Amino acid sequence: MKRSRRAELAEQLELYFICGTTNTKDIFRTVETALQCGVTCFQFREKGNEALYGDQKEAVARTLLRLCRAYGVPFIVNDDVELAMKLDADGVHVGQEDASARRVRQMIGADKWLGVSVHSLEEAATAMVHADYVGIGPIFPTDSKADAGEVNGTTLIRQVRAAYRELPIVGIGGIRPEHVELIRRDGADGVAIISAIASAPDVAAATRRFKCL
Ligand code: TZP
Ligand code: MG
């Protein structure tokens, strides 16, 4: 990837909000409030026992895409490449258990962003051939992903940053505003957040707390 595209993407990752209908009571209100209060990237991640499928999922995604476009914020779809292509989303995020980064890149073409979750330096090395950014976590314990894996603080962020100076990195997992300084200092370009924003009693205040550091 060109240096300028990496730099642009790294900036967009600063405050990356991830949400699906199972993470919050009113997803449209939550996402619009978060967009108003400064999130810089959004990922639609529809997971869990009560998750929507098919037309219902698509309808929610379309509304969220419209909201993101209105605020000039990239709209990324978790896992569902077909939905991302149908909606002409800005990108896709996949984990190690999903289709390979190589395969997803073939499916989405060169222009859409591809994010890949990695849990080791080897996975990062493989992912970065095709990915625009990597997600690293869980940094802290999280209730938002049952199979999030081992909590590793910022160890892997530091290793990946040392090995790949220009690879955009986003930290994820149990992140609260007071953690952001450390995570960025250790090499991440941004932080990805579910519960600290989606479950907050005051979404606006919670989002702003991540901005005023
Ligand atoms: N991947 C690793 S941890 C995690 C995901 C999707 C959940 C992050 O959610 P929270 O609520 O910010 O800990
Ligand atoms: Mg996945």
Is 145 annotated in the active site? yes
The structural domains of the chain, ordered by start, are 3-211 (3.20.20.70)
Kindly give the distance from the C-alpha atom of residue 157 to the centroid of ligand 1, in angstroms, as a whole number. 15
Residue carrying structure tokens 């073939």:
106
Instruction: Give the pairing of strands 133-136 and 190-193.
Output: unpaired
pLDDT at 1 over 60: no
* CB 173 less than 6 A from any atom of ligand 1: yes
pLDDT at 115: 98
Catalytic residue selected from 145, 161, 184, 209: 145
* CB 171 less than 6 A from any atom of ligand 1: no
Kindly give the distance from the C-alpha atom of residue 161 to the centroid of ligand 2, in angstroms, as a whole number. 23
pLDDT at 2 over 80: no
* CB 12 less than 6 A from any atom of ligand 1: no
**Hey, what long-range contacts does 174-179 have (CB within 8 A, 24 or more apart)?**
174/138, 174/139, 174/140, 174/141, 174/142, 175/139, 175/140, 176/140, 177/209, 177/210, 177/213, 179/139, 179/140
Is 117 annotated in the active site? yes
- Other beta carbons within 10 angstroms of residue 40's beta carbon come to 18
pLDDT tens, 153-208? 999 999 999 999 999 999 999 999 999 999 999 999 999 999 999 999 999 999 99
* Mean pLDDT in residue range 145-150: 92
* CB 134 less than 6 A from any atom of ligand 1: no
pLDDT at 3: 62
pLDDT tier at 5 (50, 70, 90 boundaries)? Answer: confident
Question: What secondary structure letter does DSSP report for 93?
Answer: E
Per the model's pLDDT, the better-predicted residue between 115 and 8 turns out to be 115
